[in-house]
Each structure stands twice: as C-alpha cells, then as structure tokens.
Amino acid sequence: MAVEIVDLCVSCWACVDVCPSEAIAKGGKHMQVNAKKCTECEGDFADPQCASICPIENCIVDAGGLAFNPPGSLTGIPPELLAEAMNEIQAR
Amino acid sequence: MELEVIGQESGGGCSSSGCGSTDDQLSHLPQDIVDKVQNHPCYSEEAHHYFARMHVAVAPACNIQCHYCNRKYDCSNESRPGVVSELLTPEQAVMKVRAVAANIPQMTVLGIAGPGDPLANPERTFSTFRMLSEQTPDIKLCVSTNGLALPESVEELAKHNIDHVTITINTVDPEIGAKIYPWIYWNNRRIRGVKGAKILIEQQQKGLEMLTERGILVKVNSVMIPGVNDDHLKEVSRIVKQKGAFLHNVMPLIAEAEHGTFYGVMGQRSPEPEELQNLQDACSGDMNMMRHCRQCRADAVGLLGEDRGEEFTMDKIEEMEIDYEAAMQKRAVIHQGIIEELNEKHQKRTQIAGMSIPSNEPIIPADTRPVLMAVATAGGGIVNQHFGHATEFLVYEASPNGVRFISHRKVDQYCIGNDTCGEKESALDGSIRALKGCEAVLCSKIGFEPWGMLEDAGIVPNGEHAMEPIEEAVMAVYEEMITTGKIDEHPVAMKAQA
C-alpha cells in the first residue's frame, strides 16, 4: 500500500516534513513517494499525513487511484455549489 | 506589554525630506522602540527611503490555506507575498545574505516570509537564523507568520534574538475566519471551516501575547477583504493594539483571476483605494497605521518599492567574492551616516515647528474640505518625475491641518499588459483608474494625451511645481484651489456618482 503524488504537485514540501516514514522526496519536477517506505500512515495516524496537509485537490491518490482530496474538498465548496458560491462572493 | 502613548500627531508623509509635515510617524512610541525601529524599512515610514531589507525564501511549506494565496505561481512581473523565483536551502540563504549585505550597504534587515509559513518550516527557518546570528551579527532578523505554530516557537525565536515578528491576523471571529481560511493542519489532521479558524485565531492571540510579554516587537498585518472582514478590522485593530502590537498594517486584498487564488478565480473584488484609506483612518487609534507597505515578494531584495532580486540569483552569487568583514565595517559607517542625517532632519523639523513665522498667506478656514492629490516622484521628497514614467504615485491629503501622506498607488502592478497575464489594459487607463479619488496630479512633466484624459476623469494635471518639495507643492495647489473657488466644487467621487 502506498500513496502516489501526481504531476499536479507544486513542490511546496509540506508533505515531506509531515511524513512519518520519510517516504517522500523531491524527484524530478515534483515530490515523489517511495512505495517501499510508504505505509499510508497506517498505525501512525488516522489519515495519511501528506494528504492531510497537501494544498492541491486531486494531487495525492491512494493505491486504487482515488484522490484523498477530491475537487471541492479543499476550498470547502463542493462543485455542485460552486456557481452559487461564486454569485455570493461577487455580490460583496 | 502595554505601549505608553506619548502623543498623537496627525503626521505622516512619504518623502525622503521626512515623512510628515508635522511629526514623525513613530514619534509617539517610547524611545526604546523608536531606537529599535529607526533603521527598519518595514516598520518606519521614514527609514524605508534609506535602509534596505531582503527576504530569503527558505520556507516553502504551509500549515493553513488562505483564500487569497496560491503558492504555485511565479511570474517575474508580479510583486506580491508568496511569490518567489528560487527556493533556497538555509546554506544558500546565508550565502545570499552575505552577498547582498556586501553589495547593498544600506541593508539592515533580513526577513523570512515564506513563500509558505516560516514557522511551519521550523528546521529550515531556525537553522537559517542560527547561522545568520553568528555570521552576520549586524543584520536584524525578523519573521512573518500566520501564527498557527507561533506559541510553540516563541522560546526559539527569543533565543535567536529576533526582536521583530509580523503576524497576519485577518479576524478574531471564527465565523469570519471560515470565509478566509478553508482549512488548517493541526495535530496531524486537516481541520476545516469554523473549527479550524477558531484554533488559528486562538493560537494567533496567544502568540501575540507571549511575544509582547517578552518584549519582542510585533507588527500585525491584516488583509482587507470587502464584504468579509472590512468592517471587522476596526475591532481587530483595537484588540491587537490592546495586546501590545506596536503597528497595524492593513493591506488591500490582491485578487486577480490570473493569479489562480480562490478569491481571484471566484471574482472576489479588491478594495478601492478610498475604502482602504477610510478603513486605515478608522483603525488609527493610539498608534499610527502603517501606510507604506509594498506587499513585496517572499524573495524581495533592496529598498522598498524596488526589487534587485535578479542581481542576486544563486548562480551569480556563487561567482561573487565577498570580504564580509570589510563590508560590515563599511556598512557600519554608512548606517551611522544615515542615522545622523535622519536625526539632523528631525531636529530641523522640530525647530521649524516651534518657530512662529510671520506670513501673509491666508489662513485656511477650518471647515475647508480636504483634497487628495497624487504625486509622481522618483524620490528625494521632490516632485521630479514625468507622469508617464511613474510606476507608482504617492497620494497626499491636503486639509486645513496641513499635508499628510496617505498611501502609494502602483500603476503597472499585477502584470498589466503582459501577454501571459490576463486581460490587457493600457498603462494610461490603469494609471487613471489608480488615481480615482484624487483631484490633482503633480508631476514634473506630462504629455498632451494623458493631460486630456486626466481632465476628462476630473483630475487636474499640474506640472508647475516641478523640483519643489512635495508637501510645499501640495499645499500650494490646495491654496490655489481655495483662491480660485475650485474647492467649492463637488469632489471627484461625488461627480462620478452624479
């Protein structure tokens, strides 16, 4: 079991600092996970730490390819409510 | 730590001849604080004309998300917090500080301000400070933070003799906080909404109190977000001043769609210059508001308002030979000279203020309305720049009480005219838009086209005071407006509404 960081990564290094397994390092253009070291934080924390601090939606996926932070999860606005939120914000 | 309030002057001003026609911005502060900040360009309105600072970008990670921030962007034309071209290791940062301090002898201050949160990167931040306090002992160290990790960092900060900290506090209300901060990372979890904002606010307030208890100077930055925290910032100002912050810097939100921030993409508007000014005026309580902030990059180098970062990229630094000892001695002499010059100017102003000069000039009736004027200047406290060459205008208010500096307004900021950066807008349109609310613009020269366009916009161009000191020129134009009856006309803002 290992998480994967896809090329949406902006190299902010936040995940590197919080990974308890030292499984993340800068590789090429962005951060990469060493699959042999990654445990998805099982036994250490309730949630994978990299996914808990990553600021980019869809950037970190689980072994099944599912995003830990799907669209809308980090802005706090689900996609179906985006248009409504935009109208509200623009009325300020 | 409660600050003693010595006096409240309506000073201000932004010229190298002195900031304010009446008094220094910081003159109401206790002397020990004045001594601490007199050569700090980010704290002292007067110092920023003489002393330089730099930021080293060693802290990329962040532990919270702000809706006005997006750390994935770097555009060399942009100047805003969080933007950097080159991330440095602590060793590279120290090398850069040594190189810059040797080449820019006016340098007094090194700050760590991101691009993430410096205290969310404690190892990188503190190892940089540790090396600098040994290797560059004459350079002041300071740090900016969102405050989440501040309480746990205070002891370490105090150890490194860092006596200046900036905390960004946008709200003291978790409900408002939830509209600004979608989440925080806290105790190994992502915490969203009001709950996350509440923790952040508590940490910020606790950190502020802990710093001021230890006598560490704290400046509070707030981002003014219309419809979200604009009215509320008066309350924030009151509370942080009460808790010992010595300066409050209310900055306008920067939210352009092309920056890719949540607010930018969602169409949140930025405040108009007048809204910002009104809020700054409403906030000014027992200390002056900071008005000269340039919201600079996390890797800015040089005097405020200029950026010499490109002269000091790592590849260039590696080729430089630095004799740090010699540079430090040279710096000491130059800094001493500047301080003496500033003291001399201060004494002169005090003397002039105390003298009664017989004057034939009419006394301005106390109920005459104030007028805003923009000034194009290349520095030196003089009206000495061509309108078309100005990249920013200084805005002054003339009133029966005298002339005071209000703000600077950039005219070519945020990538205007760049193919890769959003909608194009001509520089001239941009300048005229930036001068909204001003009734005159003072410059050394101005072309026919802008002259006509400015007049159409209700702003009177004036090139008659070229090479004159700014405050005197602004007052002369104000008096002329009074004698010619222009002052009785409706101000520009009212015209626009009519």
Phi, psi of B238 (to 5 degrees): -60, -45
Beta-strand pair B183-186/B140-145: unpaired
Q: What are the distances in angstroms from CA B130 to CA B134, B143, B158, B327, B337?
A: 7, 13, 12, 20, 29
**Residue A47 belongs to what domain range?**
4-90
Average pLDDT over residues A14-28: 94
| Matching residue, tokens 């409706």 | B490
Question: Is the CB of B467 inside 8 Å of chain A's CB atoms?
Answer: no
Number of domains within chain A: 1
Which pair of tokens denotes residue B256? Answer: 């352009």
Question: Is the CB of B72 inside 8 Å of chain A's CB atoms?
Answer: yes
Half-sphere exposure of B495 (CA within 13 A, CB side): 14
pLDDT at B128: 96
Using CB atoms, pick whichever of B62, B183, B266 lies closest to residue A89: B266
Question: Is the CB of A56 inside 8 Å of chain B's CB atoms?
Answer: yes
Question: Is the CB of A58 inside 8 Å of chain B's CB atoms?
Answer: no
pLDDT at B436: 85
| Matching residue, tokens 């996390």 | B298
What letters, b where the CB count within 10 A reaches 16 and e where it falls short, cover B301-318?
Answer: bbbbbebebeebeeeebe
**What three-state secondary structure class fits B232?**
coil
Q: Report CB contact under 8 Å: A52, B60.
A: no
Whole-angstrom Cα distance, residue B369 to residue A40?
66
- Indicate the length of chain B as a whole number: 498
Question: Is the CB of B90 inside 8 Å of chain A's CB atoms?
Answer: no
Paired strand residues for A33: A24
Strand order in the sheet with B247-252: B247-252, B217-224, B164-168, B140-145, B107-112, B52-55, B301-302
A16 contacts in chain B (CB < 8 Å):
61
Please name the residues in contact with B450: beta carbons below 8 A apart, sequence gap of 6 or more. B387, B388, B428, B431, B432, B461
ipTM, interface predicted TM-score of the complex: 0.95
| Matching residue, tokens 């860092």 | B162
Q: Report CB contact under 8 Å: A10, B266.
A: no
pLDDT at B299: 84
Question: Is the CB of B182 inside 8 Å of chain A's CB atoms?
Answer: yes
Using CB atoms, pick whichever of B61, B178, B193 lies closest to residue A13: B61
Q: Report CB contact under 8 Å: A49, B192.
A: no
pLDDT at B1: 43
Cis ω on the peptide bond leading into residue A71 (within 30° of 0)?
no
Whole-angstrom Cα distance, residue B200 to residue B150?
10
A49 contacts in chain B (CB < 8 Å):
188
pLDDT at B33: 75
Please name the residues in contact with B17: beta carbons below 8 A apart, sequence gap of 6 or more. B345, B380, B381, B382, B469, B470, B471
Chain A residue with minimal CA distance to B63? Answer: A53
C-alpha B174 chain-centroid distance: 26
From first to last of its 498 residues, chain B has per-residue pLDDT tens of 443 433 333 333 333 333 333 344 555 667 777 777 777 777 777 777 788 889 999 999 999 999 999 877 565 566 677 777 788 999 999 999 999 999 999 999 999 998 999 999 999 999 999 999 999 999 999 999 999 999 999 999 998 868 789 999 999 999 999 999 999 999 999 999 999 999 999 999 999 999 999 989 999 999 999 999 999 999 999 999 999 998 899 999 999 888 889 999 999 999 988 899 889 989 876 556 777 777 888 888 888 877 888 899 999 999 998 888 899 999 999 988 888 888 887 777 666 665 555 555 567 888 889 999 999 988 778 899 998 888 888 999 999 888 888 888 877 643 444 444 444 456 677 778 888 889 999 999 988 888 888 999 899 999 999 999 898 999 999 999 998 888 887 665 444 443
**Number of other CB atoms surrounding residue B205 within 10 Å:** 19
Using CB atoms, pick whichever of A12, A45, A89 lies closest to residue B268: A89
Task: Give which of B104, B75, B205, B90 is closest to B147, Cα–Cα.
Answer: B205
- Indicate the length of chain A as a whole number: 92
Amino acid at A92: R
H/E element, B122: helix B122-135
Please name the residues in contact with A5: beta carbons below 8 A apart, sequence gap of 6 or more. A15, A24, A30, A31, A32, A33, A50, A59, A60
Is A82 within 8 Å of A73 (Cβ atoms)? no
Domains of chain B in sequence order? 38-317 (3.20.20.70), 358-497 (3.30.420.130)
| Matching residue, tokens 């026609």 | B21
Phi, psi of B432 (to 5 degrees): -65, -40
pTM (predicted TM-score)? 0.81
CATH number, domain of A67, equals 3.30.70.20
Question: Is the CB of B263 inside 8 Å of chain A's CB atoms?
Answer: yes
DSSP string, B384-434: --BGGG-SEEEEEEEETTEEEEEEEEESS-TTTT-TTSSS---HHHHHHHH
Q: Report CB contact under 8 Å: A16, B61.
A: yes
Q: Report CB contact under 8 Å: B61, A75.
A: no
**What three-state secondary structure class fits B144?**
strand
Which pair of tokens denotes residue B99? Answer: 């190189």
pLDDT digits (tens, 9 = 90+) for A54-72: 999 999 999 899 999 999 9
Question: Is the CB of A84 inside 8 Å of chain B's CB atoms?
Answer: no
Paired strand residues for B161: none
Chain B residue with minimal CA distance to A16? Answer: B61
Whole-angstrom Cα distance, residue A85 to residue B439?
38
Is residue B69 exposed (0-12), middle (13-18) or buried (19+ Cβ within 10 Å)? buried
Q: Report CB contact under 8 Å: A74, B228.
A: no
Whole-angstrom Cα distance, residue B303 to residue B26?
19
Phi, psi of B385 (to 5 degrees): -125, 145
Question: Is the CB of B190 inside 8 Å of chain A's CB atoms?
Answer: yes
